[in-house]
Amino acid sequence: MSRMQAVFYTFSVLSLSVGADVKARSCSEVRQAYAAKGFSLVNVPHQEISGEHLRICAQGYTCCTSEMEDSLSQQSKLEFENLVDETSHDLRSTFVSRHKKFDEFFLELLENTEKSLNDMFVRTYGKLYMQNSEVFQDLFTELKRYYTGGNVNLEEMLNDFWSRLLERMFQLLNSQFQFSDDYLECISKYTDQLKPFGDVPRKLKAQVTRAFIAARTFVQGLMVGREVANRVSKVSLIPACIRALTKMRYCPYCRGMPQEKPCRNYCLNVMKGCLANQADLDPEWNLFIDALLLVAERLEGPFNIEAVMEPIDVKISEAIMNMQDNSVQVSSKVFQGCGQPKPAANGRSSRGISDVFNARFRPYSPEERPTTAAGTSLDRLVTDVKEKLKESKKFWSTLPDGICKEDEVTAGVADDDQCWNGHTKGRYFPEVSKDGLTNQINNPEVEVDITRPDTFIRQQIMALRVMTNKLKNAYNGNDIYFQDSSDEGSGSGSGSGCTEACVTELQLVSTKAPVADDDGSAEQAAGNTSAASALGPSLALAAGLALAALALQRQWR
């Protein structure tokens, strides 16, 4: 074979080889996968083209135009947002559903208790009760107003209830006299000294105050958890994250390998970089969950609002009977302290005690007790929510793992060499970064500015910190919160505690449960805790949170 023939033969072989290679570099699979995503195939190449125009993927021969790269970049962002939303769905639904259940339970418990008291007192005391029923209606109105976020001092409100009841009963038991407003005010001053209702007011005050503080704060805590989870799940992506997501998920398309999925460790590095700020929420989130669990234990035990409210009609009736039994001594001491009242103008005679209160109160038997809207007892609700809360711990730091373990996201095992490593199909060698913003300084996949924490995430961290402190105080029977001084919007709605605007003008208010009983009926509140904070459902309002933080800092100095 002559030299010229050999050269021609070699050129022919190379030409055939190049032709075969061009055929192997067809973009048909990419076109099919691209169309399956809902994109138009107009201007999508049938074969690889030069890739100098690409800004994210490798600029070698490619199946992607610049328009395709832009579309796939937007697709990466959308899919990532959907993945975070789907992965956090169970967490968010837990707080939404449990907040709703507990709120319904507590509100209907109040309604049922009031109805029970009204029905039984009508049957027991008849017209005398109906003529004075507003005293009891006001009691339940104020209890509901407190639970739903009103600026109510429980201890003062309960003291006022017993004072008003003493005034009404004293007049009924001494109907042969007439009493001026000044005289009635004098009578109320003797409530603590005379103890006309026995020890019932003191015990009930301790039990009701602690139970309502725990119930309201727990529901507020569930609401804060709900709001934080909803807001943090709506991720805000930096450009570097979008580039990393596009490179991980869709640069295989540009390389003609649309079927290749990223290696698991590669996925973890991308997710840890994109979710670095969310991971920083985790320490405060875990403390918040622990505080919720502590209050949940109180709801099962000494602060059980169901156990306090169901027999409240019996306890109030016992107090009335104590007053009836001691009416002569009480009247004598009042007359000594406040002076002899004037006889009634119509000359009415003193009515016998049996004519005024002619029957003792009969409590419900267990089968007669009303059920609640939640359809279950408080103990079962608490048992259920405790299990769900424990499952939610460490959620934000493990979110990347939850996303990358999905079959549709990664190729599976971490050291598989049959996966996309960001450059080609092969093993991924870089180590997986640790959690949190500061640990992303050497993240090989996402360029993260560790000096600029996400302000929005920091606001959520502060909201959790404030609520955690409030829960810890509720655990000890104390209610420390910030309250809108105008008190607008309080007293109705759910047990969320305040309206969206409630952190615009804040003042510190503290309610402390009375010292509990020595006989075990109202266990003594344990210890002193640092005074703190607020429920702020408007969690994104930086001004309110800054005030809360300032209050905390002052106390912790």
Give the number of C-alpha atoms closer than 13 A to the C-alpha of residue 542, restricted to the C-beta side. Answer: 5
CB atoms within 10 A of CB 318: 18
Spatial neighbors of 164 by CB under 8 A, at least 6 apart, are 135, 138, 188
Contact 478, 510 (CB under 8 A): yes
First to last CA, the chain: 97
Q: Which amino acid is at 399?
A: L
Helix axes 282-300, 378-391, angle to 10 degrees: 160
What are the DSSP calls for 204-266, one per residue? HHHHHHHHHHHHHHHHHHHHHHHHHHHHHTS----HHHHHHHHHHHTHHHHTT-TT--B-HHH
Could you give the maximum distance between any two Cα atoms of the chain, in Å?
Answer: 148
Residues contacting 489, CB < 8 A, separation 6+ = 149, 498, 499, 501, 502
What pTM value is reported for the model?
0.80
Contact 61, 25 (CB under 8 A): yes
Q: Which two tokens stand for residue 485?
A: 């001084």
Query: Which pLDDT score, from 0 to 100, does residue 86 have?
Result: 94
Amino acid identity for residue 420 in this structure? W
pLDDT, averaged in runs of 10, over the chain (557 residues):
43 38 73 94 92 93 95 96 95 97 96 96 92 96 96 94 94 92 89 89 96 97 97 93 97 94 94 96 98 97 94 94 92 92 70 46 44 67 96 96 82 70 93 96 95 94 97 92 37 39 32 45 38 38 45 43
